[in-house]
Amino acid sequence: MTDQRPELCLDFANTNAAGRKDDGADRLTCLADLAEWLESNGAIDAALVRALRRVERAKADRLLARAKRLRETVYQLMSDAAAEKAADAADIDALTKEAVAAAKALSIRRTKGAYKWVVTDQSPEAAIAPIALSAAALLTSPDLHRVRECGNDTCGWLFLDSSKNQSRKWCEMSSCGNKMKARRHYARVSSTKKRSS
């Protein structure tokens, strides 16, 4: 089964905070992390998860490196879209290559009364197919203009703005939104105290 939400590729891009604005952690440190993330996000089925977990070390390292390259390509493309910048041709070519390979791993199947794209290639290499197709679909979608990068200057997460007036600024109100509001409040209180003293 594949997750056909456009947010899938954005969520995947957000698994790496290392080297970005907050210098946080990379959530994909091994192929098992990738398998767990894909399964928990409904991108692949249990059989493909098991296949990923059985991959020998050298091949696992190559697959993980490929997934991380795709993740950085997706991040750059969507960050550029959020900034209303034209994408770099090399990033477009890299995504195109992955999307073409991904299309070969999928078939349309009827599941629970609806037709869906399903990963029918059970080789470990097919595991990132849903990510590549999600990114290609979003990049060519009219919804691309709704891609945003979090307004918290220490975050950088990507999200799809589904708010009614298209004015969402933070990846999550409960984390970055509250932090930014608290900072602004503190700055206002500090400047008021300075003026009154």
Average confidence (pLDDT) over 178-188:
48
Q: How sure is the predictor about 155, in pLDDT bands with cuts at 50, 70 and 90? A: confident
Residue 168 lies in a domain: no
Residue 191 lies in a domain: no
Residue 43 lies in a domain: yes
Please count the structural domains in the chain.
1
Q: Name the residue range of residue 87's domain.
A: 7-146
pLDDT in tens, 84-120: 999 999 999 999 999 999 999 989 989 889 998 888 9
Q: How sure is the predictor about 13, in pLDDT bands with cuts at 50, 70 and 90? A: very high
Residue 17 lies in a domain: yes
Contacts 24+ apart (CB under 8 A), 14-20: 14/157, 14/158, 14/171, 15/71, 16/68, 16/71, 16/72, 16/75, 17/156, 20/156
Instruction: Report pLDDT for 37.
Output: 96
Instruction: Report pLDDT for 36.
Output: 96
Residue 193 lies in a domain: no
CA distances to 54, 101, 155, 163 from 19, rounded to whole Å, are 30, 28, 11, 29
> Phi/psi of residue 108, each to 5°?
-85, 130
pLDDT in tens, 29-60: 999 999 999 999 989 989 999 999 999 999 99
**How high is the mean pLDDT of the chain?**
85
Residue 152 lies in a domain: no
The CA distance from 170 to 43, in Å, is 25
Percentage of the chain modeled with pLDDT above 90:
63
Whether 22 has a pLDDT exceeding 80, the answer reads no
Instruction: Report pLDDT for 177.
Output: 44
Residue 99 lies in a domain: yes
Residue 159 lies in a domain: no
